[in-house]
């Protein structure tokens, strides 16, 4: 089968205009959705005092696709931990503690490929910003 110059001209037109072989304009791929489950931590050990400091959140699904968080807040020692259901909308997560955890009653923030950024809220409404790296647990 011989196509000749008309087919070559159409192929070149597609290369220079971004129009593909079936006549559709080229589009950018949508970015992949952020995967919520994972471990987010900034817990560190201080050699000079032997203290632990920081927060850790582990997000995972339980039961019938209920997003759940295991949260630990350290302050000089291993601190307290809580297991709570999470409300998620897109990459934003919000959770309220059934009882205060190290004085905090709520966490709100957003998840990215690299971590979690958000705030810890006290009963008064005052908050403290937190930034947690996605990766392994301090305890792993």
**What digits encode the pLDDT tens for the residues 79-94?**
889 999 999 999 999 9
The CATH number for 116's domain is 2.40.128
- CA–CA separation, 31 vs 15, rounded Å? 24
The answer to the question of residue 93 being in a domain is yes
- CA–CA separation, 88 vs 94, rounded Å? 6
The answer to the question of residue 24 being in a domain is no
Q: Residue 63: give the domain boundaries.
A: 38-134
The answer to the question of residue 32 being in a domain is no
The answer to the question of residue 43 being in a domain is yes
Mean pLDDT value of segment 17-34: 52
Residue in 91, 119, 122 with CA at minimum distance from that of residue 107 = 119
- What secondary structure does DSSP assign to 57-94, as a single string? EEEEEETTTEEEEEEEEEESSS-EEEEEE-EEETTEEE
- Residue 79 is predicted with a pLDDT of 85
Decide: 96 and 84 in contact? Cβ < 8 Å: yes
Tokens standing for residue 15: 């290369």
pLDDT at 17 over 70: no
SS3 content of the chain, % helix, strand, coil (to 5): 10, 50, 40
pLDDT: is 126 or 24 the higher one?
Answer: 126
User: How many domains are contained in the chain?
Assistant: 1
The answer to the question of residue 19 being in a domain is no
The answer to the question of residue 11 being in a domain is no
pTM of the model: 0.75
The answer to the question of residue 94 being in a domain is yes
**What digits encode the pLDDT tens for the residues 35-54?**
999 999 999 999 999 899 99
The answer to the question of residue 92 being in a domain is yes
Residue in 127, 126, 108 with CA at minimum distance from that of residue 117 = 108
């Amino acid at each position: 089968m011989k196509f000749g110059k008309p087919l070559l001209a159409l192929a070149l037109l597609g290369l220079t205009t971004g129009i593909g072989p079936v006549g559709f304009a080229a589009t950018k791929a949508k970015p992949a959705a952020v995967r919520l489950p994972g471990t987010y931590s900034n817990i560190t050990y201080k050699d000079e005092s032997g203290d632990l400091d920081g927060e850790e959140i582990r997000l995972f699904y339980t039961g019938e696709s209920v997003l759940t968080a295991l949260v630990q807040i350290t302050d000089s020692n291993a601190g307290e931990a809580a297991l709570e259901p999470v409300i998620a909308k897109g990459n934003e997560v919000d959770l309220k503690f059934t009882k205060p955890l190290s004085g905090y009653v709520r966490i709100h923030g957003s998840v990215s490929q690299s971590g979690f950024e958000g705030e810890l809220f006290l009963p008064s409404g005052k908050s403290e910003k937190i930034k947690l790296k996605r990766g392994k647990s301090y305890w792993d």
